[in-house]
Structure 1
Amino acid sequence: MQAVIEKEGNGIIARFDRLLSHSVEKVWSALTENDKVEKWMSNLEMKDLRKDGTIKFNFNDGSGESFDMKIRDFRECAVLDFDWGDGWVRFEVSPEKDGCSLVLKESITPVNDHTSKDLAGWHVCLEMLSDLLDGHHQDFPMDEWEIWHKEYTAPSNDLMDEWNARE
């Protein structure tokens, strides 16, 4: 399911909603334990999981370069919210009848030509997370990313068209 994109100030909020047939605890573990995180978002490394703690972003380009991102909000088995560029990313996990709900929100300011790439990346990472929870793992599927990148830049995406026209 494609992200819902809403205008907010000079940017957007992208919201990805996923219903998962797994417990909150299992999903939380996949979001916060490095041996699992590396299988769906290999750039992230959990360092100090607490409010005002840090997550490391590794470039994974052979340079060894990385930078720390501040954790803005943290509630065990419920919320992980951290800086992401000039915006933020927030994961919310809550119990549902047959598993749990996972919501990823990303605040993107300013919207630019990288925005659709970022949205496609999160989309594919969430698919990889879901697959991991189901017991499957694959390397990052660039072909799927390319399909979603086209979707997030498609004419049917009016908000993205508005910003792409400003470029």
Structure 2
Amino acid sequence: MRNTGGITMTDYGSVSTTGDTCTLYFERRLPHPVERVWRAISEPKHLIEWLAEVEIELRPGGRVTLRWLGTDEHGKQTGQPLAHGVISDFKPPHVLQFDTDVHGTLRWELEGDGSGCLLVFNAIGDYGDQLTKILAGWHAHLDFLADSLEGRVVDWPNWPRTRWEVLHGYYRSR
């Protein structure tokens, strides 16, 4: 846990709202150097291991396409399968931000933390009645990121749905 401005943070993160806009805040301490985590969040061959199939032009204003690979227990695509965006903030190897047409703004910040890295992730958008599902989804993806850094890659056709279900139950109960 970390205290940030009076808010105690855990892996479960926090939500703040202004009007219809929600800002989801998560942080993770990862036992890997910033450069390694940067590759995991910015290179397509690593992004597919924990997030989605991604086409990305790594430069300010570069285009981003995310194709979500998760399916339900019947093999049907879950959620909105495709998002398009643009890189709106790019400071390698510390800041990567996408503005997307479906998922709002997605921002990763990396900072050296001893022998590892502090990752701060924000998702900003109008999530309406999907908020608890979005929270559970980003929490699970950040867990998958930590797993992929340890060599455990998500098998998307058989991804661990029960992890998401447990997380969703937690967020619904809050």
- Tell whether the structures are fold-level matches, with TM greater than 0.5: yes
Structure 1 runs (4+) deviating above 4 angstroms are none
- Partners of 1:23 and 1:114 in 2: CA distance: 34
Q: Structure 1's 130 and 86: CA in aligned 2 closer, same or farther, altered over 3 A?
A: closer
Equivalence for 1:104: 121
Matched with 1:133 is 149
Corresponding residue to 1:53 among 58, 62, 71? 62
Secondary structure, counterpart of 1:22 in structure 2: coil
User: What residue number does 2:131 align with?
Assistant: 115
For 1:1-167, what aligned pairs fall within 5 Å after superposition? Answer: 1-42=11-52, 44-60=53-69, 61=77, 66-84=82-100, 85=102, 87-109=104-126, 111-139=127-155, 140-154=159-173, 157=174
Compute the displacement of 1:92 (Å): 0.4
Kindly indicate whether the alpha-carbon contact (under 8 Å) linking 1:17 and 1:101 is maintained by their aligned counterparts in 2: yes
Q: Distance in 2 between matches of 1:15 and 1:96?
A: 18
Equivalent in the alignment of 1:162: none
Query: Does the aligned pair in 2 maintain the 1:77–1:93 contact within 8 Å?
Result: yes
CA contact (8 A) 1:108 1:115 kept: no
What secondary structure sits across from 1:77 in the alignment? coil
- Secondary structure at 2:50's aligned position in 1? coil
Distance in 2 separating the partners of 1:131 and 1:71: 25
Cα contact 1:54–1:68 (8 A) shared by 2: yes
CA RMSD of aligned residues (A): 1.7
